[in-house]
Structure 1
Amino acid sequence: MVNFCKKLLPRQQEALPLQPVVLTRDQHGISRKQISENALKVLYRLHKSGFEAYLVGGGVRDLLLGRQPKDFDIATSATPDQVKQLFSNCRLVGRRFRLAHILFGRDVIEVATFRGHHHEVNTNKNLSDQSSEGMLLRDNVYGTIEEDAERRDFTVNALYYNIADFSVVGFANGLADLEARRLVLIGDPETRYREDPVRMIRAVRFAAKLGLTISPETEAPITTLAPLLRDIPPARLFEETLKLLLAGQGLATYRLLQHYDLFAPLFPEAAEVMGQGSDYYNQFIELALANTDQRLAEGLRVTPAFLYAALLWGPVETRTQQFMHEGGLNFYDASRLANDEVLSRQVKSVAIPRRFSTVVRDIWQLQDRLTKRSGKRPLRLLEHPKFRAGYDFLLLRAKLDPELEELAQWWTDFQEANPVERQPQSRRAPNPRARARDDDAPKSRRRPRRRPRKKKEA
């Protein structure tokens, strides 16, 4: 990032928290060529219609850091209804925060009206509402750009690119904090976390993703307030965990979640198992996250189901053993019961959709099926739609469990063998779960087929 803060920002401007700092067109490196064509269309139409229009937040932040933004969000003085009148391809979404989505095929440009101070409005529950814990349940109060900046979470997100003159406007020392790679929450941290506890895991995500250091005052209340995440709807936390762990910095993010006691409210079953003294499952999760980060860096496909299977593997194995020893169940029944129980408890914290939980079950169940290698079973398993995910899961387990190395290597060799070699290989394969067979025992003979009787001639 260009070292613009020290050169361009007078010290008297930095001293006032919400005083805007403006970088003119020639004082920053953002070009309209870096902004998506659809986002520019929305900005131009809002501006030509007499409304203020800014590219805002993460898009501006990432462009200043020399990164390509994933999304382009827009803030405007137009209300959601006014935005809808301007765009026929617009739909209004959200109850907690009323937003306008401008649809260009699969590309969605999110447009938000400047937010104001909810405490300065009357008690109309359709505009603003808070829970007894201070969490915002509804926040559709509109205001000015200065009020909108104050309502944003972190100073590095209080950045606006003005389409009117192509300047960048920063509030709350956001430009200076971005230059210093410092993450600072706007306002009183405890109050802001109580308003929206998800801000705590957003702090961790930004720190890991952008290489920022969380300021002491911003991190101080996190450990104490971490249990507030249990009040967040599980469906919302599912979306947040995807952003946390599937953005390419999953391992670093996971370690920060553990450091600030934020992992347990998200994955209580896994946290309970890891709290029993053994570090095995923690190592396994770190291994899975490192593997996922590497695949993302190489541009390879990843599925959230694989990661959730790894995160919950500890509870599944633990509960399976408990059902076998305490309930007297066989392995098959115990493992199926453990799968159901762990997933049913997990969805109360993070709602894993069925399209992913089904794959999670397949990966777990394949771990037992992969041990059975006799006869035609290996050939049939290769045709299983989730075989590759189950095999990759086995490879991760084998890195921590020497007893699984032979099994993992056998499946690797079996896949690499040509079809002719696979037949005798599968016949020779041992079945570790099969009972020992006595080779001297007499083999049962097949009963000969009885010939039909001839009908007697009359």
Structure 2
Amino acid sequence: MARRFLERVQNWLSQLGGQNGTAPHEPRIISRDEHNISRQNISESAKKVLHRLNRSGHEAYLVGGGVRDLLLDGHPKDFDIATSATPEQVHELFRNSRLIGRRFKLVHVLFGREVIEVTTFRGSPKDADNDPHMDVNDQGRLLRDNVYGTREEDALRRDFTVNALYYDIRDFTVHDYAGGVKDLHNRQLRLIGDPVTRYQEDPVRMLRAVRFAAKLDFTIAEDTAQPIREMSHLLEDIPPARLFEEVLKLFTAGQGETTYGMLKRFDLFAPLFPESARAIAEGEPDEVIREALASTDRRVRQNKPITPYFLYAALLWPALQQAWRQEEAETDQPAYQSLQQAAGETIQNQTQATAIPRRFSTPMREIWELQLRLDKRSGKRADRLLEHPRFRAAYDFLLVREAAGEDTQGLGAWWTEYQDADADRRREMLRALGGGGKKRSGRKRRKPARNDS
């Protein structure tokens, strides 16, 4: 179906003579027999919201990534709706809803665990400085935007052309306002409007460009990509709590390894993880990051659970290693105390860039500290470690370190065998240790060839 749809797109583009998109108020209307979207692939909850809004006299359309992914024969996880109804009107229509947001006021309609996000059409104010519904800082960043308008204005306020597609459930047509169909055909991600202005309005759009390009396997249009490196520093002004959520979106969608390479290529990794970026620039290997992201991507493809604290433990590993080494050089305290001190400093520095909730920072710190304890196996220590609630995550992290080239003197293989061994074999393994483990594990490592691509 998607192939037939894209073949029709090629015919349309020939008729357009290569023009990029259509003018405002003149969307390209794609009829039901010209596209591949089936109502069967749309969430029942989303259809309920669309129908009720339409029956109540409001315009309502499926919009954004849901339409984009349906046209690509994908299976959207989220369905967003744009409507002429105000947030208060939507809230009145659905008792199972809640008003959220200050910066962008919208409505979440709840169906069990499924959330349908409903936004009111955004407008284009002529004078933002004097508009009480809009707030822009000196750098042009939108701090608050609750100016409502028409569907046409809403389409041109969206970020990327492929997200400015509207599906009308009343007649099953798709409305394309910004040449999104053409960019879908070309597998290209393009900002609507002037890229510099759009990034100034919301610097997180730079991260979204990378995330969507990695997710969809699209290229980023040259005019959209060109300003990113020069403007990446604007992310430093974004609240750390918001950037924490963006980091999770970047690295938990199944394309983390590709995303990491793109972030480095566009100088976007440093604003998110400044201490790790500095450590890597000064020669600290980043193979643990790459290996952890590759492992996470595999788990996503296998529908296995992933944990943010494991990802953060890897993303901050270069920073921790450098801080730990410096702590040992400057103090005469035991290795474990040096590690604890370095971990505290690393976490504190990172929270200035991206917030890390305590429910994640605490287990992340335990994973790091257990890397040292995993080598202390004599007596009853090994069995006590097996009972530690964070043992499995620490063991998995040890395997990631080994796969990344760190020399742990076979510690991963030892723990793999010990977990599966019977009581007699475990006693033999402990006796073979003799005086126990070394003072520190994993500090010696080969340094693989650098690859910042």
TM norm. shorter chain > 0.5: yes
The answer to whether the 8 A contact 2:129-2:136 is kept is no
TM-score by length of 2: 0.92
Distance 2:194 2:406 in 1: 51
Give every structure 1 segment of 4 or more consecutive aligned residues whose post-TM-superposition deviation is greater than 4 Å: 12-15
The answer to whether the 8 A contact 1:398-1:405 is kept is no
Residue 47 (str. 1) matches residue 59 (str. 2): no
How far did 1:203 drift?
A: 0.3
The answer to whether the 8 A contact 2:20-2:179 is kept is yes
1:151-210 Cα shifts (integer Å, max 9, x gaps): 000000000001221111111111111111011100000000000000001000011110
Write the mapping of 1:261-300 to structure 2, written as runs, cut at 5 A.
Answer: 261-278=267-284, 280=285, 282-300=286-304
Distance 2:126 2:336 in 1: 57
1:11 equivalent among 16, 20, 33: 16
The verdict on how the C-alpha distance between 1:404 and 1:218 changes in structure 2, with shifts beyond 3 A counting, is: same
1:280-336 Cα shifts (integer Å, max 9, x gaps): 2x2221111111111111121111111100111111121112111112222121111
1:39-79 Cα shifts (integer Å, max 9, x gaps): 10000000001110100000000000111001000000000
Task: Indicate the residue corresponding to 2:246 in structure 1.
Answer: 240
Task: Name the SS of the counterpart of 1:340 in structure 2.
Answer: helix
1:118 equivalent among 107, 114, 125: 125
For residue 429 of structure 1, what is the amino acid of its counterpart? L
The verdict on how the C-alpha distance between 1:434 and 1:269 changes in structure 2, with shifts beyond 3 A counting, is: closer
Task: Indicate the residue corresponding to 2:172 in structure 1.
Answer: 166
Residue 254 (str. 1) matches residue 254 (str. 2): no
Q: Over alpha carbons, which structure has the higher Rg?
A: 1
Distance 2:209 2:430 in 1: 51
The verdict on how the C-alpha distance between 1:357 and 1:434 changes in structure 2, with shifts beyond 3 A counting, is: closer
1:323 equivalent among 324, 327, 336: 327
Task: Indicate the residue corresponding to 1:368 in structure 2.
Answer: 372
Distance 1:63 1:163 in 2: 14
Distance 1:310 1:419 in 2: 33
Distance 2:156 2:52 in 1: 26
TM-score by length of 1: 0.91
Residue 343 (str. 1) matches residue 326 (str. 2): no
The answer to whether the 8 A contact 1:77-1:114 is kept is yes
The verdict on how the C-alpha distance between 1:274 and 1:328 changes in structure 2, with shifts beyond 3 A counting, is: same
How far did 1:409 drift?
A: 1.1
Distance 2:99 2:385 in 1: 47
**Runs (5+) with no aligned partner, structure 1:** 436-458
2:209 equivalent among 182, 196, 203: 203
Task: Indicate the residue corresponding to 2:437 in structure 1.
Answer: 432
1:233-274 Cα shifts (integer Å, max 9, x gaps): 111111111110110000000000000000000000100100
Residue 84 (str. 1) matches residue 88 (str. 2): no
RMSD: 1.6
1:142 equivalent among 145, 148, 153: 148
How far did 1:403 drift?
A: 3.0
1:359 equivalent among 341, 363, 382: 363
Q: Percent identity?
A: 55
Task: Indicate the residue corresponding to 1:221 in structure 2.
Answer: 227
How far did 1:416 drift?
A: 1.6
Distance 2:21 2:303 in 1: 44
The verdict on how the C-alpha distance between 1:434 and 1:304 changes in structure 2, with shifts beyond 3 A counting, is: closer
Distance 1:15 1:152 in 2: 14
Distance 1:272 1:180 in 2: 37
The answer to whether the 8 A contact 1:47-1:163 is kept is no
